[in-house]
Amino acid sequence: MDSQAVRSAMVRRLQAQGVSHPAVLAAMGAVERHRFVDTALAGQAYEDTSLPIGLAQTISKPSVVARMVELICQGRSERLGRVLEIGTGCGYQAAVLSHVSREVYTIERLRGLHEKARENLRPFRLSNVHLLFGDGMLGFAQGAPYAAIIAAAGGEDIPAAWVEQLAVGGRLVAPAHTVAGRQNLVVIDKTAAGVQHTVLEAVHFVPLKSGVA
């Protein structure tokens, strides 16, 4: 597989779907997604589909990763500061985030996946990515405040700890259940005047859970 060629084709599809931020497109083109899935699934790595990564979890579709990362980068041409990712999974999105931010703290509640992400990310030598094992619903107060927070699991509501740990001027992007009972992408912008919620398109993410396992 010529991974550079298939990644370039994936980036062109993302552009056709409306992703336009240059840094996000460059990051999606740089990170080798096939290295984050089982060898048997490597041939599907650049298709716009979520794939199983074990422990009933999935790696998000490239279009969803690009969409969420573009939302936190919106209106900024320079790198983001410190970013918190809730739900490391296999480590793919953390690798993408490492290209658009100065520092990434990423937290995973399932030890098996935390170890798998460490293994997957090791060859990339990303000195700005910090892997944490713990309860993502609590965020990571020691690294706060964050320029952006991004979550790969959806709950009934956005945990208060995340909003507290977001910097003024920062943005949080996460799936959450709306009044209608559907799961939608929610954007929270924290300003000096308060917190602004925006509900975007319907999405389908694994459930947000507390505790570790």
Within 13 Å, how many C-alpha atoms sit on residue 171's CB side?
A: 15
User: Tens digits of per-residue pLDDT, 149-159?
Assistant: 999 999 888 99
Question: Which residue type, as a one-letter code, is found at position 42?
Answer: A
Structural domains of the chain in order of their starting residue, each with its CATH number? 63-202 (3.40.50.150)
Token code pair at residue 80? 């983001």
Cis omega (within 30 of 0) for bond into 62: no
Which of these ranges, 52-56, 82-86, 102-106, 121-125, has the smallest mean pLDDT?
52-56
Q: What is the pLDDT of residues 21-37, one digit of tens each?
A: 999 999 999 999 999 99
Please state the rounded mean pLDDT for residues 123-128: 96
Considering only residues 207 and 143, tell me which one the structure prediction assigns the higher pLDDT.
143
DSSP element (H, E) containing 103: strand 101-108
d(CA 213, CA 203): 25
**Confidence check: pLDDT of 75 > 70:** yes
What is each CA distance from 14 to 21, 144, 183, in whole angstroms? 11, 31, 22
**Share above pLDDT 90 across residues of the chain, in percent, rounded to a whole number:** 89
pLDDT band at 181 (very low <50, low <70, confident <90, very high): confident
CA distance 71 to 92: 17
pLDDT average, residue stretch 51-56: 91
CB of 33 within 8 A of CB of 50? no
> What is the pLDDT at residue 179?
75
Distance CA 75, CA 32 (A): 26
Give the span between the Cα atoms of 192 and 62, in whole angstroms: 33
pTM of the model: 0.95
Q: Is pLDDT of 178 > 90?
A: no
Instruction: Supply the pLDDT for residue 156.
Output: 87
Instruction: Tell me how far apart the alpha carbons of residues 159 and 154 are, in angstroms, rounded to a whole number.
Output: 10
Q: Where does 40-199 have alpha helices with state H?
A: 62-73, 92-100, 111-121, 160-165
What's the chain's average pLDDT?
A: 95
Q: How far is Cα 152 from Cα 150, in angstroms, rounded to an integer?
A: 7
98 is catalytic: no
Q: Which of 8, 60, 77, 101 is catalytic?
A: 60
Asked if the model's pLDDT at residue 1 lies above 70, the reply is: no
Give the pLDDT confidence score for residue 127 in this predicted structure.
97
Q: At 171, is the pLDDT very low, low, confident or very high (cuts 50, 70, 90)?
A: very high
3-class state of residue 203 by DSSP? coil
